[in-house]
């Protein structure tokens, strides 16, 4: 690695890992989340049409889509803010959205399932453990980048 590049105290602006994070928040999370929900809520019921007549399934699906819609709005807002709003609160917003979109949204989905299907929360949470773990690691890495990056400090902190 080029020590001169990594120690550049004048690094500033949108680029490199910061640009990747903006893409991640503004496009990757919403698109992959929509694809995942499409597979779960559109393709699965096509194979099992009885699900569509179950009011609990319809209610669960609606609640998850609402939570996902709010999440997408927050992701777009955080991505846009990182791109255009050069203030310290932008970094805090991005960190909050990363943790919300990562490990916390699956917990919310499990809580919705637990409430609607009247099941034990720990049972509702089981299918989400791998996703919660992997997105926690991902969120921790991005948080570390936002907290330690010279580019982020020079761009968002006066």
The pLDDT score that the predictor gives to residue 8 is 77
Q: Is residue 75 part of a domain?
A: yes
| Percent with pLDDT over 70 in the chain | 96
Quote the tokens at residue 134: 């992997």
Residue 7 lies in a domain: no
- Residue 109, H or E segment: helix 105-116
Asked if residue 23 is part of any domain, the answer here is yes
Domain extent at residue 125:
12-156
- Do the beta carbons of residue 94 and residue 75 sit within 8 Å? no
Selected residue with higher pLDDT from 8 and 43: 43
111 in any annotated domain: yes
For residue 2, being part of any structural domain is answered with: no
25 belongs to a structural domain: yes
Q: How does pLDDT run across 105-151, given as a tens digit for each residue? A: 999 999 999 999 999 999 999 999 999 999 999 999 999 999 999 99
Structural domain total, the chain? 1
Tokens of 121: 């929360």
Helices (H), 52-87: 55-84
Tell me how far CA of residue 9 lies from CA of 15, 16, 141, in angstroms.
Answer: 15, 15, 22
pTM of the predicted model, to two decimals? 0.89
């Amino acid at each position: 690695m080029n020590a001169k590049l990594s120690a550049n105290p004048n690094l500033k602006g949108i680029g490199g890992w910061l640009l990747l994070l903006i893409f991640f928040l503004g496009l990757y999370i919403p698109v992959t989340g929509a694809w995942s929900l499409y597979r779960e809520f559109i393709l699965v019921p096509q194979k099992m049409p009885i699900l569509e007549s179950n009011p609990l399934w319809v209610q669960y699906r609606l609640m998850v889509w609402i939570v996902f819609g709010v999440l997408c709005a927050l992701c777009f807002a955080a991505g846009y803010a990182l791109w255009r709003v050069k203030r310290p609160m932008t970094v805090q917003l991005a960190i909050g959205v990363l943790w919300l979109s990562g490990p916390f949204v699956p917990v919310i989905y499990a809580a919705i399932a637990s409430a609607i299907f009247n099941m034990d929360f720990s049972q509702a949470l089981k299918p989400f453990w791998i996703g919660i773990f992997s997105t926690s690691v991902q969120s921790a890495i991005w948080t570390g980048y936002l907290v330690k990056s010279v580019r982020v400090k020079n761009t968002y902190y006066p």
